Amino acid sequence: MGLYGDKTQQTDPATGRPKVERHYDLAVDGERLVVHVHGSTGHMGSILENDDAITKAAWMIRNLVRSRERIERTADSSINVNLLDRANPDVLVLEGGQGFVPTHGIEEIMRRMLEAARRGAGHYLVRVGRADLSAEQLVVGSYDKLHNDAFDGDPDSPALRDAILAAKRCGIWKDEPICGWTVSCDARLFAKEYPDLTVLTTGAGRLQDAHSDSECLDVDELVRSVELLSLFILKQTADIPLA
């Protein structure tokens, strides 16, 4: 919550309810304590408007591990942390998004992510007294969905100036600084396929709705987006004045 803020205290404008109803559920099941951690889903480009259940769960588990000896002394019993209802509770699969800018190539990003995961596993093994195990053998990384390399373009290109004119004509332009987008998207594929062309990304919809339980498109916004593309194409191909 320190990074994302307490989303139980923030209202989702789409539903009028808190973005996260509660951070976790705790239930007693025989000799087990079962914890379900909740988060607010969405596109990774809007991560600061949401929060991350994985991050919160990791914080809880880390503090539990740090307090393990004290808890076991108090309870005069041993404790174990396991994944709930998994055929192999010793195997944890984590999947998440990673955005990056063109100061680093995709191979460098992959290497750094794997090294970070192994460093974390190594610190954990030392803390629980299992420094005899190898973090390199315990942590395996794959990048089945990370295939869009980062790119940059000219923020004052003729194409971008035409896009701004079209956006102003449609009434959707916001007078804000031109900047890159630090999340992965299909525009990166086009940038690598056509390196000599200017690649711009636009479309209807809000980032906070994308990939969420309330994902939707506003019809009026979709119409304005179509109008923007039409005017932009006319300006690019026929040089029709838009000002």
Helix (H) or strand (E) holding 69: helix 68-75
User: Is this prediction's pTM over 0.75?
Assistant: no
Domain boundaries, the chain: 1-97, 106-148, 158-238
Report the alpha-carbon distance of residue 135 to residue 117 in Å, rounded: 9
Cα 232 vs. chain centroid, distance in angstroms?
30
Q: Which residues contact 107 (CB under 8 A, 6 or more apart)?
A: none
Q: Hey, what are 174's tokens?
A: 């916001």
Q: Which residues contact 179 (CB under 8 A, 6 or more apart)?
A: 155
Report the alpha-carbon distance of residue 216 to residue 116 in Å, rounded: 35
**The one-letter amino acid at 78:** S
Strands (E), the chain: 24-29, 32-37
Place of tokens 């919160």: 56
Rounded to a whole number of angstroms, the CA Rg of the chain reads 24
80 phi and psi angles, rounded to 5 deg:
-135, 145
Please give the chain's pLDDT, 243 residues, in tens: 566 788 899 888 778 889 899 999 999 988 888 999 998 877 666 777 788 888 898 889 888 888 888 988 998 888 887 777 767 777 788 777 676 777 888 888 889 989 999 999 999 888 888 889 999 888 988 888 777 777 788 888 999 999 999 999 988 898 888 877 766 566 667 777 788 888 888 888 877 777 777 788 889 989 999 999 999 999 998 877 776
